[in-house]
Amino acid sequence: MADLLTAPPALPGQFAFFFDLDGTLAEIKPHPDQVSIPESVLKTVYALSQMNEGALALISGRSMAELDKLARPYRFPLAGVHGAERRDIHDNTHIVSLPDELIQTLHAQLAAALEHLPGTELEAKGMAFALHYRQAPQYEEAVLRLARNVADEHPQLALQPGKCVVEIKPKGINKGEAIAAFMASAPFSGRTPVFIGDDLTDEAGFSVVNQAGGISVKVGPGETKAGWRLGSVAAVWQWITDIANQQQLQIAQHNGGNQYESLSRHL
């Protein structure tokens, strides 16, 4: 896609929404534990979910436990660890796992290697490992080389590069597959998918959404397969508020009522 893309369009119709979290619904912070979603944004996301029969999911590299914590007090369908964990609207969970022995071996190997790279951090996610180097960018090549070597040793593993992080995860797991799985069942099926993300990890999701004739939105600069672009997290907040307001107005008009309260005042 071209670098200069316009803001995504207004959305009349039946849509299914998928949101990345870090860098999309929440500003990126120096450490993942510092990230939060503003209460006003969570209210808007929940309103969108309610107005679209629950066809809204969070799709993230974070674990589902982390996503639930960040989304409190609301509870959404989720895909965590890039889709290795998934929870549908009926609270059914779908987990892709690795053998316990392999997980223990990888944890020990990666932890020992990163001890020699001060400022890097190992995040164990159960069935995946994230190697962070945001606090030590000088070790980017060393971290990527370590991850490649580990993945090459184990054919069931694959790499997922991201912003100042590289993840080692089960092969065949990505956000595109997670979105496709959601779209195969209610309340998502039959709707047009909308996916908003900011990172390399989101490109597989953009591809699936594009193939389905949906709306793919890249947040921030960089080459992308997405068809639309928003410049910042703040622009995402404003756009989803505009969409929620539009849908509220359509519902009010359909019901023949005048009870319409704009969500814009929340932001």
Q: Could you list the active site residues?
A: 20
Distance of CA 179 to the CA centre of its chain: 10
Q: Crossing angle for the helix pair 100-114 and 140-153, nearest 10 degrees?
A: 150
Provide the token pair at 209: 């959404």
Peptide bond into 77 cis (omega under 30): no
Q: How many residues does the chain have?
A: 267
Contact of 71 with 58, CB cutoff 8 Å = yes
Distance CA 254, CA 259 (A): 12
How far apart, in Å, do the first and last CA atoms of the chain sit? 31
Peptide bond into 187 cis (omega under 30): yes
Tell me which long-range contacts 254-263 makes (C-beta under 8 A, separation of at least 24).
Answer: 263/43, 263/44, 263/47
The closest of 236, 231, 141, 253 to 194, measured between CA atoms, is 236
Distance CA 77, CA 79 (A): 7
In degrees and rounded to multiples of 5, residue 58 shows phi and psi of -95, 135
User: Which residue stretches of 6-130 are H helix?
Assistant: 39-51, 64-71, 100-114
Distance CA 49, CA 263 (A): 14
